[in-house]
Amino acid sequence: MQSQNAEYLEKLDHLRCLAASLVVLFHAQLLGGGARVRDYVHLPLIDQGHIGVHLFMVISGFILARISASKDIDTVKFYKNRILRIYPLFVLVVTVGYFSTPDPRPTSVGIDYLMSLLPISNLYRLNYGAFGGQLWTIAVELQFYLLFPFVLAFRRKYGLLYIAGIVAAAFALRCAQYFHGGTAHAFAYFSLFGSIDLFIAGMVAAEVHQKMQERKTKLNLAWSIAVFIAIGAVVTLLFAHRSFFQVDYAGVATDGVSRSALWVVWPTLEAGMWSILLLVYLNAMQSIPASSFVAALGKYSYSMYAWHILVIEIAKTHFLWLSPYAFGALVVLPVTMLISWWSYYLVEVPFLSLRSRYTVTMAQGAA
């Protein structure tokens, strides 16, 4: 996506497309329901495609750190830009979702609606309307945006040791949560205390990428493929322990809460894996087939994420003759992409045009 604050990296939108596609295909096979045709070959990267959300978080940390490299931030303009980027589509999807519920609606719906728009809404896990349940991640993103100017300032003042300390502190808190309550699942998955590792990894990856560019480091695309396969292998290995992941297909954790101690380390491990993939892919020397087309889909990734549940809910009873994977790949993903193209230009672009440059050279100083 084009920005006034940094040079455009087309391959970054490729990764956005990957992240959005994983989430869409995951929800399509999870929520599609009622299919009479089974998938006999299962792909853990799709069955647990919610991990695409965490790739988004690594990308967010990377972009913000890259934009602000060797620059100061005008904090007020930074927050304004983040609001213009996130809230227009967020408010639209949540509002449509709430109004689509049957009448009469109790008075408390108004309060729920307003509270769902706050940057702490993941704390009380509201529904975000009839088809916006996935939007809890927006609150986590907003929380990181609020912290970012301070994290960046303290990283510059105290060095890499400071952000390493943040990751260590988050790890310690997940440990404490596990020993206190017997589970770190929700704490690690639904809160910034798990996601901070991912954002920090993205920030570090931005610094490493800058050094690789200065040294003109180029890698073979085969490294990207190898890293992606390795990520798939790790997910497959963990998927063998069905009670670990966010979605327990085996029904081992009948209350929907995993009690695996692996949730203490999983955010850090995932942060490392996604940031390595990001680095090796951005520095791949080979050109990518249909690169501009894939990048365009990556630009629509936020709209894809916001609208795909609505597509699933409308289409799921009309394609029972398709297997869950086929339903996602042949129906939900292309229809969501089409709607996202419309949404991007009708909702996102006009507000994105209102953004302003929020970085200034260090010599000028920041507001």
| Residue ranges of domains in the chain | 10-361
Q: Of the candidates 336, 247, 255, 258, which has an alpha carbon nearest to the alpha carbon of residue 297?
A: 336
Contact 84, 351 (CB under 8 A): yes
Contact 30, 316 (CB under 8 A): no
- Furthest CA-CA distance within the chain: 65
Distance CA 292, CA 298 (A): 10
Q: Of the candidates 199, 205, 84, 187, which has an alpha carbon nearest to the alpha carbon of residue 150?
A: 199
The predicted pLDDT at position 326 comes to 93
Q: Is the dihedral of CA 130, 131, 136, 138 positive or negative?
A: negative
Amino acid at 89: L
Taking 50 as the pLDDT cut, the residues of the chain under it are 365-367
- Count CB atoms within 10 A of the CB of residue 234: 15
Distance CA 46, CA 66 (A): 30
- How far from 34 is each of 37, 45, 256, 316, CA to CA, in Å? 9, 22, 21, 8
The predicted pLDDT at position 104 comes to 86
Query: What's the half-sphere exposure (Cβ side, CA atoms, 13 Å) at 197?
Result: 26
Question: Whole-prediction pTM value?
Answer: 0.93
Contact 275, 75 (CB under 8 A): no
The predicted pLDDT at position 338 comes to 97
The predicted pLDDT at position 125 comes to 76
H/E stretch holding 347 reads: none
Find tokens 């798939």 and name the residue. 232
Q: Using alpha carbons only, give the angle 227, 268, 145 rounded to the nearest 5 degrees.
A: 105
The predicted pLDDT at position 367 comes to 42
Contact 310, 51 (CB under 8 A): no
Burial of 350 (0-12, 13-18, 19+ CB in 10 A): exposed
> Residue 131 in 3-state DSSP?
coil
Distance CA 24, CA 16 (A): 12
DSSP 8-class letter at 284 = B
Distance CA 110, CA 283 (A): 48
Q: Using alpha carbons only, give the angle 337, 306, 85 rounded to the nearest 5 degrees.
A: 105
Beta-strand pair 359-361/71-73: antiparallel
Contact 305, 20 (CB under 8 A): yes
Burial of 54 (0-12, 13-18, 19+ CB in 10 A): buried
Distance CA 251, CA 255 (A): 9
In sequence order, which residues have a C-beta less than 8 Å from that of residue 165 and are 6 or more positions away? none
